Amino acid sequence: MSDFWFEFVEITQTVGDGLLFGATYALIGIGFTLIFGAMGKLNMTYAGASLAGAYAGLAAFTFVNAPALVVFLVSALASGFIGFVVYVACFRFIPVNNHLAALMASIGALFFIDEIVIHATDGSPLTFPAMFEYVMFDLGPYGIRGDLLFVFVVCVVSTAGLVYVLYRSRLGLATRAVSQQDVAARLCGIDVHRTNAITFVLAGLLGGIAGSMTAAAVGVLSPLVTIPLTVKGLIVTVIGGLGSIPGAIVAGLLVGGLENVFLYFRGVNERDMYVLLLLFVFLVFRPHGISGTAIDRD
Amino acid sequence: MLELRGLSKHFGGVKALDRLDLTIDEGEIFGLIGPNGSGKSTTINVICGVYPQTAGSVLFRGELMNGKPPHQRLRAGLARTFQNIRLFPTLTVWQNLWVAQNSPGDIARQGFLPRWFGTTRRTRQEIAELLELADLGHKSDELAANLAFGEQRRLEFARAAAARPKLLLLDEPAAGMNSQEIDDLSWRIRRVRDSGVTVLLVEHVMELVMGVTERIAVLNFGHRIAFGTPSEVQRNRAVQEAYLGTSAAEAGPADGSA
């Protein structure tokens, strides 16, 4: 009985950690889904740009010894800026209906950004600052890592901020108007190119937070993270339902939690394999994702 | 106010609009009518920049509009409604109007934050007035998608008026309306005009056109075939032929309610 109890605590602990870390996946998923919602296109650069933002934050840490909070802020701003550059380079001037060209351009930009990072860091992992990493909250038999809790809280706050902007501010309403009725929005005086650019910047800010939070939770930043984070972001986006923000939130937490379940039972080598299988389970049995149909699009 | 000079729009070999000349004066309610496929909607689409014209030019308040994107034309004072309603379905009635408040003076005056994140007392008051105009005050927090058809039409009208345009283009606003609704619509159109907006009404429903417009141009096959006051146009032989066919026009004068 005590063996069972011990195991139960272990599993729930690991799932809880996964849920906390899953918030970063949710944030990345939201970024993908936000851009898809606005333009109907996938921005493959997104996770890479988010990590590049985190690298910019890391530069602030390395060269001027900035405190962790400033590092996170710089990451977000840098990633927002990269988001704008990616929009201009890969989306702004490509004809609206040419989805494949935009997709290829963004994949190219992903590798380009990755190469820049590899070149700048010689491809070696670098330590990333965290906050509250020595804090541990005891909750009965469970322990909650301070740094993970911080990551979770930051992600929740940024998501809440984004939802506020999208659903309560005129800026967000304008971007949603464009995603719902492109032509009508233009004829209501909304500059579609500008709102799209703003969407990319917003998504970029979010991505920079997600990137730096991922790095803070893991403790290191490495170019090797780019592809797994891109893949997980896409998985979250698909499972959540393309274009659905609530879906991305649920899917991010789901992937984070399940990932640790797989980790617990099958070990680190097999973990990502099962996460990918999850993607195919959804694509076959529920291709529209959790939310059924992508909301906010018609 | 609005001047179309030799305006043409060809879709492949189809001349949807062929060298159309038209002048609309400030403060009038101008009707543009014609049988199906005569180029009415194309005219509106070219005026507000949805389609580029094949030839000719659009002058709005003396300014050449050729090549300008729709949002710039709106800011110059050109707003429109759609024949097939195009509201923002998951925005509320109030938000639909808020998003559409893009009049040029306000945009220039407001800073980034108030423009994108706040509401001024003036914008709120204007929205309240528009809700009253569209008789939608009680539905202001309803999602646009949940409105009845007639309410959606009214919201679309109010949304176009929200930009405080100089010229309002109405693309078949009375389609599918009953007599009572048409009366309401005429009242609404007159009220908007009395607030200083010129109106171009593109319409099939003669009950509305004949009742509310002051001058009418008739299109057929992309050409203007007649022009004048409602009663002049009704008596025009070419118009009767276009609408009723040659033999019907020969059989006797139409009673005017084509």
Would A64 be classed as within a structural domain?
yes
Q: Which residues of A touch B115 (CB under 8 A)?
A: 170
Would A46 be classed as within a structural domain?
yes
Mean pLDDT across chain B: 86
Distance from CA of B34 to the nearest CA of A (A): 24
Would A269 be classed as within a structural domain?
yes
pTM of the predicted protein model = 0.87
Both structure tokens of A124: 């070696």
The pLDDT tens digits of the residues spanning B129-168 come to: 999 999 999 999 999 999 999 999 999 999 999 988 999 9
Count of Cβ atoms closer than 10 Å to residue A16 Cβ:
18
State whether A188 and B117 contact (CB < 8 Å): no
Cα A210 to Cα A24: distance, rounded to the nearest angstrom: 5
Q: What is the pLDDT of residue B254?
A: 46
| Burial classification of residue A113, based on how many CB atoms lie within 10 Å of its CB (0-12 exposed, 13-18 middle, 19 or more buried) | buried
Q: Is A191 on the interface with B (CB under 8 A)?
A: yes
- Dihedral sign for Cα atoms in the order B237, B242, B248, B253: negative
Least confident of A124-133, A207-216, B29-38, B233-242: B233-242
Q: What is the pLDDT of residue A285?
A: 87
Cα B146 to Cα B144: distance, rounded to the nearest angstrom: 5
| Burial classification of residue B109, based on how many CB atoms lie within 10 Å of its CB (0-12 exposed, 13-18 middle, 19 or more buried) | exposed
> Which residue ranges make up each domain of chain B?
2-77+165-251, 87-149
User: Structural domain tally of chain A?
Assistant: 1
Would A292 be classed as within a structural domain?
no
Question: Which chain A residue's Cα is nearest to B123?
Answer: A170
**Mean pLDDT (whole number) for A90-115:** 93
State whether B100 and A180 contact (CB < 8 Å): no
Q: Does residue A257 contact residue A15 with C-beta atoms inside 8 Å?
A: yes
Mean pLDDT across chain A: 90
Instruction: Please choose, from the candidates A82, A7, A5, the residue with its C-alpha nearest in 3D space to the C-alpha of residue A47.
Output: A82
**Mean pLDDT (whole number) for B246-254:** 50
Q: What is the 3-state secondary structure (H, E, C) of A187-217?
A: HCCCCHHHHHHHHHHHHHHHHHHHHHHHHHH
- Local confidence band at B117 (pLDDT 50, 70, 90 cut-offs): confident
Q: What is the pLDDT of residue B258?
A: 39
ipTM: 0.82
Q: What is the pLDDT of residue A297?
A: 41
DSSP code at position A223? G
Angle at A104 between CA A99 and CA A107, to 5 degrees: 125
Would A295 be classed as within a structural domain?
no
Q: What is the pLDDT of residue B249?
A: 47
Cα A222 to Cα A49: distance, rounded to the nearest angstrom: 13
Cα B136 to Cα B158: distance, rounded to the nearest angstrom: 10
Q: Is B170 on the interface with A (CB under 8 A)?
A: no
**CA dist list (Å): B97 to A50, A158, A199, A269, B155:** 35, 28, 21, 54, 8
**Mean pLDDT (whole number) for A70-96:** 95
Would A7 be classed as within a structural domain?
yes
- Where b means 16+ CB within 10 Å and e means fewer, B151-186 reads bbbbbbbbbbbbbbbbbbbbbbbbeebeeebbebbb
Q: Which of residues 42-61 of B touch A (CB under 8 A)?
A: 48, 50
Share of chain B above pLDDT 70, in %: 92
Distance from CA of A200 to the nearest CA of B (A): 16
**pLDDT of A116 strictly over 60:** yes
Compute the residue count for chain B: 258
**pLDDT of A94 strictly over 80:** yes
Q: Does residue B39 contact residue B219 with C-beta atoms inside 8 Å?
A: yes
Domain with A61 in it: 2-285
State whether A192 and B115 contact (CB < 8 Å): no
Q: What is the pLDDT of residue B104?
A: 66
The pLDDT tens digits of the residues spanning A18-64 come to: 999 999 999 999 999 999 988 889 999 999 999 999 999 999 998 99
**Mean pLDDT (whole number) for A191-203:** 92
Half-sphere exposure of A23 (CA within 13 A, CB side): 22
**Mean pLDDT (whole number) for B101-109:** 71
**CA dist list (Å): B201 to A4, B100, B186:** 77, 20, 11
Q: Does residue A48 contact residue A298 with C-beta atoms inside 8 Å?
A: no
Cα B201 to Cα B173: distance, rounded to the nearest angstrom: 8
**pLDDT of B46 strictly over 70:** yes
Cα B19 to Cα A115: distance, rounded to the nearest angstrom: 56
**Mean pLDDT (whole number) for A90-101:** 90
Both structure tokens of B139: 């539905």
Would A291 be classed as within a structural domain?
no
How many whole angstroms from its chain centre is CA B193? 12
Domain B2-77+165-251: CATH superfamily, name plus number? P-loop containing nucleotide triphosphate hydrolases (3.40.50.300)
Select the more confidently predicted residue: B86 or B119: B86
**pLDDT of B175 strictly over 70:** yes
Question: Which chain B residue's Cα is nearest to A298?
Answer: B89
Q: Is B70 on the interface with A (CB under 8 A)?
A: yes
**CA dist list (Å): A285 to A279, A280, B32:** 10, 8, 53
State whether A170 and B115 contact (CB < 8 Å): yes
Q: Does residue A216 contact residue A27 with C-beta atoms inside 8 Å?
A: no
Cα B205 to Cα B188: distance, rounded to the nearest angstrom: 16
CATH number for the domain including A249?
1.10.3470
- Local confidence band at A240 (pLDDT 50, 70, 90 cut-offs): very high
Both structure tokens of A155: 């992600």
Cα A156 to Cα A154: distance, rounded to the nearest angstrom: 5
